[in-house]
Chain A
Amino acid sequence: MEGTKIPLHLIPCGKSARVKELTSSGNLRRRMLDLGLVIDTVVESLRKSPSGDPIAYEIRGAVIALRSEEASKILVELI
Chain B
Amino acid sequence: MGLTSQSTGVNALKEMLDIQLSSSDDIIVALAGNPNTGKSTVFNSLTGLNQHTGNWTGKTVTTAQGNYKYRDENFILVDLPGTYSLLSNSIEEEVARDFICFGNPNATVVVTDATCLERNLNLVLQILEMTDKVVVCVNLMDEAKRKKIRIDLKRLSELLGVPVIGTSARSGEGLEELMDAVYKVSHNEITTKPIRIQYDDDIENTIQYIEEKIKKSVDNKINSRWVSLKLIDGDMSIIDSINKYIGIDLSNITNNETKLGLAEVSSTPLSEVLSTSNDLAYGDLRDRIVSSIVKLAENISHQVVNSQRQKHNELDRKIDNILTSKAFGIPTMIALLGIIFWITIVGANVPSDAIAYVLFGIEDKLTYLFTTYNLPNWLHGALVLGVYRTLAWVVSVMLPPMAIFFPLFTLLEDLGYLPRIAFNLDNFFKKACAHGKQALTMCMGFGCNAAGVIGCRIIDSPRERLIAIITNFFVPCNGRFPILIAVTTIFIAGAVSGPMQSVIATLSITLVIILGVIMTLLVSKILSKTILKGLPSSFTLELPPYRKPQVGRIIVRSIFDRTIFVLGRAVIVAAPAGLIIWLMANVNISGISLLDHSAGFLQPFANLLGMDGYILMAFILGLPANEIVMPIIIMSYMATGTMIELENLEALRSLLISNGWTWLTAINVMLFCLMHFPCATTLLTIKKETKSWKWTFVSFLVPTIAGITLTFTFTQIVRLLGLA
The chain A residues found within 8 Å of chain B, CB to CB, are 22, 25-31, 33-36, 38-39, 41, 46-54, 56, 58-67, 69-70
The chain B residues found within 8 Å of chain A, CB to CB, are 84-85, 87-89, 115-119, 122, 279, 283, 286-287, 290-291, 294-295, 297-298, 313, 316-317, 320-321, 324-326, 329-330, 423-424, 426-428, 430, 436, 536, 538-545
Find the B residue at minimum CB distance from A24.
B538
Q: Check B426 against A25 for contact (C-beta < 8 Å).
A: no
A52–B85 Cα distance when bound, in Å, is: 29
Q: Check B329 against A64 for contact (C-beta < 8 Å).
A: no
CB distance from A59 to the nearest CB of B (A): 8
A60 proximity list for chain B (CB < 8 A): 118-119, 294, 298
B122 proximity list for chain A (CB < 8 A): 34, 36
Q: Check A53 against B324 for contact (C-beta < 8 Å).
A: no
What is the interface of chain B mostly: helix, strand, loop, or mixed? helix
Q: Check B539 against A70 for contact (C-beta < 8 Å).
A: yes
7 closest Cβ contacts across the A-B interface?
A51-B427, A50-B329, A30-B88, A33-B290, A38-B291, A63-B543, A34-B85
Instruction: Select which of A27, A49, A61 is within 8 A of B426 by beta carbon.
Output: A49
Q: Check A56 against B291 for contact (C-beta < 8 Å).
A: no
Q: Count of A-B contacts with CB under 8 A?
A: 128
A66–B295 Cα distance when bound, in Å, is: 22
Q: A31-B538, A34-B290, A54-B436 are in contact. Are A49 and B118 (CB under 8 A)?
A: no
A56 proximity list for chain B (CB < 8 A): 320, 324, 423, 543
A67–B538 Cα distance when bound, in Å, is: 8
B283 proximity list for chain A (CB < 8 A): 25, 29
Q: Check B423 against A49 for contact (C-beta < 8 Å).
A: yes
What is the interface of chain A mostly: helix, strand, loop, or mixed? mixed
Q: A29-B283, A46-B317, A52-B427 are in contact. Are A61 and B119 (CB under 8 A)?
A: yes
A78–B503 Cα distance when bound, in Å, is: 50
Q: Check A33 against B430 for contact (C-beta < 8 Å).
A: no
Q: Check A64 against B542 for contact (C-beta < 8 Å).
A: yes
Q: A30-B87, A50-B325 are in contact. Are A65 and B541 (CB under 8 A)?
A: yes
A53–B540 Cα distance when bound, in Å, is: 12
Instruction: Select which of B88, B428, B539 is within 8 A of A66 by beta carbon.
Output: B539
Find the B residue at minimum CB distance from A73.
B538
B84 proximity list for chain A (CB < 8 A): 34-35
A46–B310 Cα distance when bound, in Å, is: 12
Given contacts A41-B294, A70-B540, 14 further A-B pairs with CB under 8 A are A22-B287, A33-B294, A34-B88, A49-B424, A50-B324, A53-B430, A54-B423, A54-B426, A56-B320, A56-B543, A62-B542, A64-B543, A65-B436, A69-B539
CB distance from B692 to the nearest CB of A (A): 24
Q: Check B88 against A27 for contact (C-beta < 8 Å).
A: yes
A67–B436 Cα distance when bound, in Å, is: 10
Instruction: Select which of B291, B320, B538 is within 8 A of A69 by beta carbon.
Output: B538
B279 proximity list for chain A (CB < 8 A): 25-26
Q: Check B540 against A65 for contact (C-beta < 8 Å).
A: yes
A59 proximity list for chain B (CB < 8 A): 119
Find the B residue at minimum CB distance from A66.
B540
CB distance from B525 to the nearest CB of A (A): 16
Q: Check B541 against A64 for contact (C-beta < 8 Å).
A: yes
Question: Can you list 7 contacts pairing A with B, beta carbon distance less than 8 Å?
Answer: A29-B286, A33-B287, A49-B426, A53-B430, A60-B294, A67-B426, A67-B538
Find the B residue at minimum CB distance from A46.
B317
A35–B83 Cα distance when bound, in Å, is: 11
CB distance from A27 to the nearest CB of B (A): 6
